[in-house]
Amino acid sequence: MNGVHDMGGMQDMGPVQREENEPVFHERWEGRVYGLVNLMFAWRKWNLDATRYEQEIIPPAEYLRMSYYEKWLASLTGLLVKSGLVTRAEIESGAPAAGSPKATPPVTAESVPAMIARGNPVSRDVPAAARFKAGQHVRARNINPTGHTRLPRYARGKLGTVERDHGVFVFPDTNAHFQGEKPQHLYSVRFAARELWGEQAAPRDAVYVNLWDDHLEPA
Amino acid sequence: MKTSRRDFIANAGAAAAAMHDLAHAQEPDHEHEHSLVPSDPALRVKSLESLLVEKGLVDPAALDALIDTYEHKIGPRNGAQVVARAWVDPAFKKRLLANGTATIGELGFGGRGGDYLVVVENTPKVHNLIVCTLCSCYPWAVLGLPPVWYKSAAYRSRAVIDPRGVLREFGLDLPQDVEIRVHDSTAELRYLVLPERPAGSEKLSEDELAALVTRDAMIGVANVPLPPGVRP
């Protein structure tokens, strides 16, 4: 989706504002949201790509206004309802519906370190022929899907060089919509800064983007 | 879908406003000690947390443990150990650049937010910079959770089109003959910059070197400062 989340190359967003000795969380609720998102993920009712898409469909003006953890909260709330884990009425009331069964949480305090260590592997040990190889010239496809994609707008239609084949990974563009993992090769593709931005870019600079087979065509 | 989502956000806002009135009536001052403006997300999160705990979907002790882990245990000191080891151990550095995930795993780091770690090396001729233009992907396993600026529209938008301008704002003015490589984290690969070892650090121990390494240097927006007492 050509949404406001796809920010690479936009201008006039102001200076990068740094904060000295920044805390991990600025307010208590931010840590709670972070924790809830991670613990609810353990129910395996959705995937990381779906959590990203759920943020991308926040209306653009809201997206720009909201803080990072407000977006996480919106994404979590949306997925909780869509997955059926909670109802909209329960979110609004803040209490379980009368007579609803009580579940057993999949993660306890003792199993938090194991959950973190396990991570979320998205490489797949399945045979999939690589369409491209390191050193090959490629063009990022000119696609404008209305759903989730990890091919940023600024790279579409641009010429690049495959720098490295990372192996077979879940394809986010389908996985985000629960349309299958469609495992395929993932690459680092090098784009010269001048190919992306023209003469204003420094001649030697480059941007490396991770792209999948379905994002690329031979050049 | 978008219309219903807007309605949903509006409804959630109304519910939060009602909650706020309730909280205000029942707990006169507690929520208002730090700010005169009621913090809307704080109330919504409080309500959501209690719902998820009530439904048995979340264990509150697990929530506390997870938050504590990222506030106190997983942070840029992890990455600094990786960098210092690479500076003193050439064989480790070689493995690190060839296979970041397995080699960083030797130090016990990895997993969530670091399933696939790629280490990119700064040299006198190449400078690497990490960004995530589409969201805010960041190598949690070695750097902890990202600072606000890394997640900001300003950084996400400009790092790819104007890396030199961004670096100048961070105090790093790189000559034209240094090649800047910006890595946009569009997959689950997470990048860690191996910064250049600063001059004058030859006699420092691995622990002393690790203490010099900053988070910003491992994102690529800064170089590692010279050791105390060393002049350029």
The residue from B135, B152, B157, B205 that is catalytic is: B135
Smallest CA–CA separation between B67 and chain A, in Å? 6
- Model confidence pLDDT, tens digit, residues A58-71: 999 999 999 999 99
Q: State the CATH number of the domain containing residue A70.
A: 1.10.472.20
Smallest CA–CA separation between A107 and chain B, in Å? 6
Dihedral of alpha carbons A206, A211, A214, A215, sign: negative
Smallest CA–CA separation between A159 and chain B, in Å? 16
The reply to whether B207 and B100 lie within a common domain is yes
Of B58, B84, B105, the position where a domain reaches its end is B58
Of A67, A88, A118, the position where a domain reaches its end is A118
Give me the residues of B, 30-89, that contact A with CB < 8 A.
39, 41-42, 44-52, 54-59, 61-67, 69-71, 74-75
**Contact status of B12 with chain A (Cβ, < 8 Å):** yes
- Examine the residue annotation and report whether B132 is marked as an active-site residue of this protein: yes
Smallest CA–CA separation between A110 and chain B, in Å? 7
CB A216 within 8 A of CB A140: yes
Q: Which residue range is the domain that position B147 belongs to?
A: 75-219
Candidate from B1, B44, B154 with C-beta closest to A15: B154
Q: Do A116 and B69 touch (CB under 8 A)?
A: yes
The reply to whether A113 and A142 lie within a common domain is no
The reply to whether B95 and B189 lie within a common domain is yes
The reply to whether B35 and B130 lie within a common domain is no
The residue from B39, B47, B136, B201 that is catalytic is: B136
ipTM beyond cut 0.90: yes
The reply to whether A142 and A108 lie within a common domain is no
- Model confidence pLDDT, tens digit, residues A10-29: 999 999 999 999 999 999 99
Of A118, A149, A169, the position where a domain reaches its end is A118
Instruction: Please check whether residue A19 lies inside any domain of the structure.
Output: no
State the Cα–Cα distance between residues B45 and A33, nearest whole angstrom: 7
Candidate from B5, B64, B157 with C-beta closest to A10: B157
Give me the residues of A, 130-149, that contact B with CB < 8 A.
none
The reply to whether A74 and A155 lie within a common domain is no
Instruction: Please check whether residue B68 lies inside any domain of the structure.
Output: no
Q: Is the pLDDT of residue B105 over 90?
A: yes
- Model confidence pLDDT, tens digit, residues B126-164: 999 999 999 999 999 999 999 999 999 999 999 999 999
Of A67, A87, A118, the position where a domain reaches its end is A118
Q: Which residue range is the domain that position A162 belongs to?
A: 137-218
The residue count of chain A comes to 219
Q: State the CATH number of the domain containing residue B197.
A: 3.90.330.10
The reply to whether A77 and A150 lie within a common domain is no
Q: Do B164 and A202 touch (CB under 8 A)?
A: yes
Q: Is the pLDDT of residue A209 over 50?
A: yes
- pLDDT value of residue B28: 39
The reply to whether A93 and A141 lie within a common domain is no
Instruction: Please check whether residue A11 lies inside any domain of the structure.
Output: no
Q: How many domains does chain B have?
A: 2
Q: State the CATH number of the domain containing residue A157.
A: 2.30.30.50
Instruction: Please check whether residue B228 lies inside any domain of the structure.
Output: no
Instruction: Give A128-133 contacts, CB < 8 A, sequence gap 24+.
Output: A128/A168, A128/A183, A128/A184, A128/A185, A128/A213, A130/A165, A130/A185, A130/A213, A131/A185, A131/A213, A131/A216, A132/A162, A132/A165, A132/A185, A132/A187, A132/A213, A132/A216, A132/A218, A133/A162, A133/A165
Instruction: Please check whether residue B164 lies inside any domain of the structure.
Output: yes
- B231 pLDDT band (50/70/90 cuts)? confident
- Examine the residue annotation and report whether B47 is marked as an active-site residue of this protein: no
The reply to whether B20 and B104 lie within a common domain is no
Query: How many H helices and E strands in chain B?
Result: 12, 4
Mean pLDDT of the region A202-207: 97
- Examine the residue annotation and report whether B137 is marked as an active-site residue of this protein: yes
The reply to whether B86 and B188 lie within a common domain is yes
Instruction: Please check whether residue A40 lies inside any domain of the structure.
Output: yes
Instruction: Please check whether residue A45 lies inside any domain of the structure.
Output: yes
The reply to whether A114 and A143 lie within a common domain is no
The reply to whether A176 and A214 lie within a common domain is yes
Q: For residue B8, which residues of chain A lie inside 8 Å, CB to CB? A: 77-78, 81, 88
The reply to whether B54 and B80 lie within a common domain is no
Q: How many domains does chain A have?
A: 2
The reply to whether B87 and B146 lie within a common domain is yes
Q: Is the pLDDT of residue A159 over 50?
A: yes
Q: For residue A183, which residues of chain B lie inside 8 Å, CB to CB? A: none
The reply to whether B79 and B109 lie within a common domain is yes
The reply to whether B100 and B193 lie within a common domain is yes
- pLDDT value of residue B230: 87
The reply to whether A61 and A93 lie within a common domain is yes
The reply to whether A105 and A160 lie within a common domain is no
The reply to whether B166 and B106 lie within a common domain is yes
Dihedral of alpha carbons A55, A58, A61, A67, sign: negative
Of B10, B27, B58, the position where a domain reaches its end is B58
- Examine the residue annotation and report whether B205 is marked as an active-site residue of this protein: no
